[in-house]
């Protein structure tokens, strides 16, 4: 699954690359706020598909699970 970077993470990366002093606690708070917005916007959705044995499956993907699958490996 392709992972993406949030706007706040991108901005932090830009500041880090330029070795500019920044208020990390403010960015951490902004990242948390953005995560909450993404989780809330996604909500819980059904997802399904076929297993390798041809059997169909259906489960629920929560907003938190969606966020973790999409963005988690980019978090520091």
Report the distance separating Cα 53 and Cα 73, nearest Å. 30
Note the pLDDT of residue 57.
86
Report the distance separating Cα 57 and Cα 50, nearest Å. 6
Q: Which residues are CB-neighbours of 3 under 8 A, at least 6 positions away?
A: 70, 71, 72, 73, 74
Is pTM beyond 0.85? Reply is no
Note the pLDDT of residue 27.
76
Q: pLDDT digits over 7-53, tens only?
A: 778 777 777 777 655 677 677 878 888 898 899 999 999 888 888 99
User: For the chain, which residues make up each domain, given as ranges?
Assistant: 7-74
Among residues 53, 69, 24, the alpha carbon closest in space to that of 9 is found at: 24
Strand partners, 56: 50
């Amino acid at each position: 699954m392709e992972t993406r970077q949030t706007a706040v993470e991108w901005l932090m990366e830009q500041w880090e690359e330029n070795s500019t002093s920044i208020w990390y606690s403010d960015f951490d708070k902004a990242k948390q706020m953005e995560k909450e917005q993404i989780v809330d916007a996604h909500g819980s959705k059904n997802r399904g598909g076929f297993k390798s044995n041809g059997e169909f499956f259906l489960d629920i993907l929560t907003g938190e699970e969606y966020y973790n699958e999409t963005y988690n490996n980019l978090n520091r």
